[in-house]
Amino acid sequence: MLDAFEWYCEQCGRQVYREEIAVQNIVTDLPKVFERYYGTPANCTCKHCGTVMQPPVRR
């Protein structure tokens, strides 16, 4: 069973990144997906308009 995680560009609305993983443990697996997205410039930069997505601010 795969879960798909998708991010869309804030500027142009096109898909920036998509990853499908088999989530075993949502508490430990989810941060890894976010890390691969926000932690990898190639993944969190929109290929269509060049906008770099910023991670949500944690308080």
44 binds Zn ion (CB under 5 A): no
CA angle 46, 18, 33 (to 5 degrees): 105
- Return the number of the residue (22 or 41) whose C-beta is nearest Zn ion: 41
8-29 burial code (b ≥16 CB/10 A, e <16): ebeeeeeebbebeeeeeeeeee
Shortest distance, CB of residue 9 to Zn ion, whole angstroms?
Answer: 3
Nearest approach, Cβ of residue 16 and Zn ion (Å): 7
Interface contacts to Zn ion, rule CB under 5 A:
9, 11-12, 46, 48-49, 51
